[in-house]
Amino acid sequence: MTFLRRLLGFSGSRHGKNSRSFTGDGSAQPKRFIVMGKGGTGKTTISSALARALSSKGKDVLAVSLDPAHNLGDVLGCSLGSEPKKIDDHLAAFELDLDEQVQRFVEEKLRQMRPLYGNLQIFNADKILDALKQSPGMEEFAILEAIGEISAFAEKCDAVVLDTPPTGMTVRVLSLPDITLLWVAELVKLRSKILDRRAYIQNIERTDLETDPGDDIVMAELRRYKIEIEATRSFLLGEGSFIFLVLQADKLSVSETERTIRKLDSNGYRIGACFINRASKGEERTFLYDSCGLSNLMELYDEIPWIELPDLGSDISDPQSLLDLGDVICGFLDAGDAR
């Protein structure tokens, strides 16, 4: 037994009323683990450890860094790019190039729109749409598009681990599917009104305008996009998807975690577990948890499993230690109610 495993075995603890199976078999769909947290709390380490542990059990795992400040490759001990790279027999990983993804996202949307609106060049709208690359929200939509692409081939995996951007951006990405579906629904209504007026004109002037919604390419594109967003939403929110929040015992981290829990809850997302990284023990633990508000937060959301991990320091620097940490995390997640 390694030092890390002994350390975790004696100092880790788990709180929470409800038991859920996070890593067990029995589901035809791949497990999706969305690891979130304030920058610097250790979410990349948690993501890497979980991916290593699952792959060591013979599960085919895809680990993805969606964070513009990539560290996934550093923790896994290999150089990663924007294409999946095989780490071992059951683990592949890549780091999303956000600038490249935004460029591809906007170019794809322009490609889809040009056949629909042939008069774009007349109104110089091409240049306006190109400016969208710098518009607020493009990064979030590009990440959502990337998640949709990941979900398309995730069926080949047993598990997908998403190492996410800092909390604020990730919360916005997770809220986008519902917002987009509302937006698409309103556009469908608007397009239906336009087609109704076309039908009215056609009846009066006996023109050859196509007014059947089933033949309208704009309506078809809106419906296609709706199906695409619904699939992405299911990937993020459906059965087999778990959100893990990573925090530390300090006021900023605790406050951000509380806001995140409230925001995710309002969007229908359930927190799978909260990892308290670099947790203290004994009297120091009591003092820190009380002074930063963590004790109150744990009591307020006591239905969430709160998993305490010690400060591992340099002991997490090698692959075996990372695997040991992942094994312990998986053990905590599947341990059931410890109280």
The CATH number linked to 249 is 3.40.50.300
Within-domain flag for 8: no
pLDDT of residue 216: 83
Within-domain flag for 62: yes
DSSP 253-278: HHHHHHHHHHHHHHTTPPEEEEEEEE
pLDDT of residue 176: 94
Within-domain flag for 339: no
Most distant pair of Cα atoms in the chain: their distance? 85
d(CA 179, CA 182): 5
3-state SS class at 68:
coil
pLDDT of residue 204: 60
Q: Is the pLDDT of residue 264 over 80?
A: yes
Within-domain flag for 29: yes
| CB neighbour burial string for 296-332, b if at least 16 within 10 angstroms, e if fewer | ebbeebeebbbbbbbebeebbeeeebbbbbbbbbbeb
d(CA 305, CA 336): 9
Non-local CB neighbours of 273 within 8 Å, separated by 6+ positions:
16, 22, 242, 244, 245, 304, 305, 306, 307, 332, 333
Non-local CB neighbours of 298 within 8 Å, separated by 6+ positions:
15, 289, 306
- Is residue 335 very low, low, confident or very high in pLDDT (cuts 50, 70, 90)? low
pLDDT of residue 2: 46
What are the backbone dihedrals phi and psi of residue 268, each rounded to the nearest 5 degrees, phi first?
Answer: 85, 10
d(CA 155, CA 246): 27
Q: Is the pLDDT of residue 211 over 70?
A: no
Within-domain flag for 4: no
d(CA 282, CA 13): 12
CB half-sphere exposure, 70, CA atoms < 13 A: 21
Token digits for 38? 């304030």
What's the full length of the chain, in residues?
A: 339
Q: Is the pLDDT of residue 254 over 50?
A: yes
| CB neighbour burial string for 250-282, b if at least 16 within 10 angstroms, e if fewer | beebbebbbebbebbeeeebebbbbbbbbbbee
Token digits for 242? 């778990």
Q: State the chain's mean pLDDT as an integer.
A: 82
pLDDT of residue 312: 67
Within-domain flag for 173: yes
- Is residue 130 very low, low, confident or very high in pLDDT (cuts 50, 70, 90)? low
pLDDT of residue 11: 42
- Is residue 1 very low, low, confident or very high in pLDDT (cuts 50, 70, 90)? very low
- Is residue 258 very low, low, confident or very high in pLDDT (cuts 50, 70, 90)? very high
- Is residue 19 very low, low, confident or very high in pLDDT (cuts 50, 70, 90)? very low
- Is residue 201 very low, low, confident or very high in pLDDT (cuts 50, 70, 90)? confident
Number of structural domains in the chain: 1
d(CA 236, CA 170): 12
pLDDT of residue 270: 86
User: Please, is 230 exposed, middle or buried when counting C-beta atoms within 10 Å of its C-beta (0-12, 13-18, 19+)?
Assistant: middle
Within-domain flag for 37: yes
d(CA 312, CA 296): 25
- Is residue 162 very low, low, confident or very high in pLDDT (cuts 50, 70, 90)? very high
Tell me the residue range of the domain where 17 lies.
13-332
DSSP 92-145: EEEE--HHHHHHHHHHHHHHHHTTT-TTTTTTTHHHHHHGGGGSTTHHHHHHHH
Within-domain flag for 84: yes
The DSSP call for residue 154 is G
